[in-house]
Structures are given as C-alpha cells and as structure tokens.
Amino acid sequence: MSQQIEENAYLNMDLLRFTTAGSVDDGKSTLIGRLLYDSKSIFQDQMEAIEKSSKSSGEEEVNLALLTDGLKAEREQKITIDVAYRYFATPKRKFIIADTPGHTQYTRNMVTGASTADLAIILVDASKGLLTQSRRHAFISSLLRIPHLVVAVNKMDLVDYDEKVFDEIVADFRNFAKKLNVTDISYIPISALKGDNVVEKSERTDWYKGSTLLHHLETVKVDAGKNVVDFRLPVQYVIRPNQNFRGFAGQVSSGHVRPGDEVTILPSGLSTKVKEIVTRDGNLEAAFTGDSVTLTMEDEIDISRGDMIVRKNNVPTIRNNFEAYLCWMNEKSLEPGKQYLIKQTTQTAKVFIDDILYRINVDSLSREDANKLELNEIGRVKIQASKPIFFDPYQINQRTGSFIIIDPATNVTVGAGMIRAGSTTDGKKSRGSIRKKSPNVVWEPWNIPREEREERNGHKAKLLWFTGISGSGKSTIAKALEKKLWDDGKKTVLLDGDQVRHGLNGDLGFSASDRRENIRRVGEVARLFYEHGNIVLCTFVSPFNADREDLKALFPEGEFQIVHVDCSSEKAQDRDPKGLYKKAKEGEIIGLTGYDADYEIPENPTLLIDTEKLSVDEAVEECMKILS
C-alpha cells in the first residue's frame, strides 16, 4: 500500500477478482504470500506471527505460505483444503484472490473459486513441467468461462532461469489450450520464493520481455466477460412501504436499463415501461450490469421474487428442461431420477436429473459413459424442472446461465451447473434466443416498401452471405463481384468482417458470445440495407451453423443465400492474406477458425465455391447466376 494517497485516489480504483490454482507443491501459497508481502499488504503483527510459526516448525526461511494457510487442520497437514479469500490493493486496483487448493479431490473448490473470477493464475512448476493437474485447472477455468488465463511458470530459480525450459512449457501449454475455449493466455516466468517477476522485474530473466505478474494483474481488462447486451434483472425483493410505492429490488445481471424502457416480466409475459430507477442516493438515469437498484413500473403488474424483468424484444430462453455441465460437490453421489432443488437467479424449483449424457474426464478431456456422478466429477446432464426456468446459455450470460443443486433432505449445496442450452429431447431448437420476439411487438412498416425501391432500382434486393475460413477467398470474390455489379449499375453494399470490427462492433472481442453478437449485429445491418433495395454481400467467417440459421429468420423465405467459399486449410495457411495463421502459429492469437477453432461446414449452401479449382472470375460468374 502506498504511503502517499492522493486525495480521493481510491474513488477511481477498480476491482479484479482472480483465482489461483496449482498442485500441492507448485508454490501457490508462497506466491500469494509473495504478492501480499511485496505489495506491502502484510502487517507487522501478521509477519511476526508467521515468523514464530516458521521457527517452531523448524523451517529456516520465513514460510510465506503460512500467511494463507488459515485453519488448524490444514496447517497441521500443510495443505489448503478449502477456498480462502485474500485481499490486497495497489494504488490502481483492489484484488480479491480466491485461493483454491490443488489437491486432487478438490475440483469442487476450484470450481467454486473460478465461479467469481475474472482471471485465473495457473501455476506450473518449472522443474516438473506441465502436469495433469495444471491441465485440469486450465480446463475448469475454460469451462467456467474465466476470460483471462495467466500461466505462471514458477520455481525458475530451480532451473537456472533457463529460457528453454520456459519455452518448452509454453509450447506444451499452447498445444493443450487449443482444445479449450480461452482467448487470452499470458505466460510469465517467475520465482515466488525469490521474488523474480512477481512484483519486480527480474534481472535473471533478461530474455523475458513481458510484464511482471503484478503489472499484468493491474492492467488486464476487468469486464471482458460481462454481457452488456441482454438486460436481465431477477427480482430479489419487493419494497412496499405504503400503498403508493411498489419497487422491485434486484441486481442487474447483464445489460442496462433506463426509465422509459419497455420491459417484459417473466413468467407472466406482461409488458410495461420502467418508470423510475430508485436508490437512496436519488433516482438514476440508467442502471448497468452489477448495480443493485430498485425499479418502479408504469403499470400495476403483479411481480414477486423469482420473477425476471427483461427487455421487451430480448427475452431469455424459457424452458422446463435443459442441458447443463454439472460439477458434483458432495460425498453422496448424484442419483438420476432423485428429486433435488435448483437455485438459479432468484428462483428455486424442484428438479430431476433425467440423464447423465457423459462424464468428462478432466485429465484427458475425453467423454466417458456414466450412470452417476461422484464428488468432484463433472458431467453433461439433462435436467427436468417442475416449472419453467428463464435462462441464457452460460457462455453468453454467466449470471442467468448458472445454478446450484440443493439436496432437499440435507439442505446442502451438492452441485453447481452451467446451462448449455434448452434440452433437445423434444426436437425443438435448443439455442438461447437472440431474437425471440414478444407476441406484442408491432413491427413498424418501412416508409417506402422494398418492392417500390426494387422497382426504381431496376433490380431485386438480394443477400449473399459468404462464409468460410480465413484465407479461403471470401473477400477477394465478393470484392470482384461487387465491382461487376457496380459496373452493371446495380445498387450494392459490401459488409466485411474487418470493417465492422473497427467501427460498429469495435466493442466486441473474440469470445464465443462476442462472435455471436458480432454476427447478430451484422445480420441486422444487412437486413436494413436489404430492405432498402440493395444487393448485399457479406463476408464473414461465421463458423457456426446455429448463428447462420438465426440470420435466416431475418429475411424472407429463401432470400438468405449462403455461399460457402472453401479451400483446404493448408492452402488457406499458405495464402494467409492477413498474416493471421502466422500469428496463430507463433501463439500470438488463439482461437483462429480453421487453425485451432472449429468451422462448421454449412449443410445446404446455395452455392459452394472451391477456390482451389475455380478462378476469381469463374467464381464471380457462379455468383452472378444465383443473383439473376
């Protein structure tokens, strides 16, 4: 802590929650002790207490790990057995550490610590290399959607600060991380014991040009995992001091809300407008993700705890049955068919676990058959609830996509789950709705109908959606096609991935939810141009069938035409027009479609262009055929 506090400087501090994970001997407690010690967050009396403890157990150096090993039992066994929370602050940021034990049987604690974290530090012992446990930690971090990972290669002092040892571990981890859904991974060589690159930059690793661990923690973007799009407010409590005031209190799970916004109340489906956002410090003009507020409504609608207030044209999935990843947290194993309780947002419901689809081997990441889940096991399950649950898939919205399972016989929390999607058993489409409309929405007709615009333009409005991996030739073909159309006197618009990412979608990253939002917005924009009579050409990697399927619904039947621009991944890597594959190979970016992220081949494209067989001109000709 700084001695010199600028006046009110703390009002601008923000907050980073991170979790630390490592095997028993990776030196995790020592690292946390080091962070607390070097950032001067340890007080003299605490230091004296651990000096005393270290001496009495016969250790030579002061054991920094003792700072964090709280409970008697674990101090005797010298392992941490439960999630412990630690706090420190620098002038820039306050930090909350969820310190989770690395012991084999404590997967549940890792899941617990990860559930609230913005960042995970994965500790790897440089003298041992990448072990199974580190892989498991990385997998759980990715399953829980922690947006940032830091691989801290510890005990560099034991390998003489050898760059090669570090590089090998980094390469191993990168190779493994391809299977995971994490976009931001940093690698830092440290020695927690000696203090290298933890707070101070080490002179013994002059080959390392990156940040120290603390500097990284101080500067990493904190709200990367937030869903700022979909407004959701689960009602916690109704405030009714007198007949004239009815306020609905809760914390904004995601998105934002303003007075005057049209909202729908679930499960009733009734709509009204937000009248005021009430707080003791005065009414607000807007409430954002994380704000604890009280809303009043224009109309008298019966709303109670467990209900959810959402934006009128943007409602979550409402289903009795859904699929989820479930981590089992109790010695008594999960019994399919037994009745449990689920707690999700502010509602509670009776549930059955219908079926365990598979168990995930957290070490090999393979799927295994299972008819029960034991303590610390993770599986994909089907859940049947006694009443409709309102949710978004966890990957899009962690607050509305998460739940705990309670055993009604003991009242103990026995499981933690992440909703993947509505269950597919009844044959219905199983995605969260990105554009599910309330039945009350009235679409305002266009001022000048498309048909009239088409007549004046002398041609029909069209929409071609070019999809394919990076380097397949989408842009090249679309550009040549647009030039041809322009020369023919047609009205055209070309929407290109890189362009929209600089402007319209400049706020989006490359997480699965951001990618999806990217495509959703482009779809809406394409639709506007389409309705204005243009021939719209869109070139986007758009790797997922589901996203492309969603777009289809925006256009008249049969008018959303997919052009799959295809070539082998070797050819694409060879072309590499934007240098992306090169960066991916060097590990600068991960999650590149066609390299280390999947591309789902369109099932029935209007047109398939193999750019290893057709020239650009031939491809343009093929496109012209479907436009005529």
Partner 1 sequence: MSELKNTSHLKQLENEGIYIMREVAAQFERPVLLFSGGKDSIVMFHLALKAFHPGRIPFPLMHVDTGHNFKETIEFRDKLVKKYDVDLIIGSVQDSIDEGKVEEETGPDASRNALQTVTLLDTLKKHQVDAALGGGRRDEEKARAKERFFSHRDVFGQWDPKNQRPELWNLYNGRKSQGENFRVFPLSNWTEMDVWQYIAQENIDIPSLYFAHDRKVFDRRGVWLADTEFVNRMDEEKLVTKTVRFRTIGDATCTGAVLSEASDLEEIIQEVASARETERGTRHDDKRSETAMEDRKRQGYF
Contact positions with partner 1 (CB under 8 A) in 85-114 = 85-87, 89, 93-94, 96, 99, 108-109, 111-112
Q: Which listed residue (30, 115, 142, 254) binds partner 1 by CB under 8 A?
A: 115
The answer to whether 131 touches 366, Cβ cutoff 8 Å, is no
Site for partner 1 in 249-308 (CB under 8 A): 249-251, 256, 278-281, 286, 288-292, 294, 305
Query: Which residues lie below 8 Å from residue 549, measured CB to CB, with a gap of 6+?
Result: none
Mutual angle of helices 545-552 and 512-531, in 10-degree steps: 30
Q: Which stretch binds partner 1 (CB under 8 A): 245-253, 364-372, 420-428, 492-500?
A: 245-253
68 binds partner 1 (CB under 8 A): yes
53 binds partner 1 (CB under 8 A): yes
User: For residues 72 and 164, which CB has a smaller minimum distance to partner 1 in the complex?
Assistant: 72
Using the CB atoms, write b or e for 263-282: b if 16+ within 10 Å: bbbbeeebbbebebbbeeee
- What's 191's DSSP letter? B
Least separation in angstroms between residue 242's CB and partner 1 is: 9
- DSSP assignment string, 214-256: HHHHHHS-TTTT---SS-EEE--EEEEEETTEEEEEEE--BSE
Least separation in angstroms between residue 45's CB and partner 1 is: 4
Encoded tokens for 621: 């000709």
- What's 146's DSSP letter? -
Q: How far apart are CA 125 and CA 28, in angstroms?
A: 10
Taking CA atoms, 253 is separated from 51, 226, 229, 319, 509, in Å, by 44, 9, 11, 19, 20
Q: Which listed residue (54, 116, 211, 568) binds partner 1 by CB under 8 A?
A: 116
Site for partner 1 in 437-456 (CB under 8 A): none
Q: Which stretch binds partner 1 (CB under 8 A): 8-16, 135-143, 373-381, 563-571?
A: 8-16
15 binds partner 1 (CB under 8 A): yes
Site for partner 1 in 335-364 (CB under 8 A): 341, 343-344, 346
Encoded tokens for 240: 């009714």
627 binds partner 1 (CB under 8 A): no
Site for partner 1 in 319-338 (CB under 8 A): 329
Distance of CA 361 to the CA centre of its chain: 22
493 binds partner 1 (CB under 8 A): no
395 binds partner 1 (CB under 8 A): no
Least separation in angstroms between residue 434's CB and partner 1 is: 20
Site string for partner 1, 396-435 (x = CB under 8 A): --xx--xxx-x----xxx--x-------------------
The answer to whether 369 touches 359, Cβ cutoff 8 Å, is yes
Site for partner 1 in 168-197 (CB under 8 A): none
Query: Nearest-CA neighbor of 565 among 623, 627, 501, 495?
Result: 623
Least separation in angstroms between residue 43's CB and partner 1 is: 5
Alpha carbon dihedral 159, 162, 165, 171, in 10-degree steps, equals 150
Please tell me the count of residues contacting partner 1 according to CB under 8 A: 85
Site for partner 1 in 125-144 (CB under 8 A): none
528 binds partner 1 (CB under 8 A): no
- Scan for tokens 């995970």, then name that residue: 120
User: For residues 116 and 569, which CB has a smaller minimum distance to partner 1 in the complex?
Assistant: 116
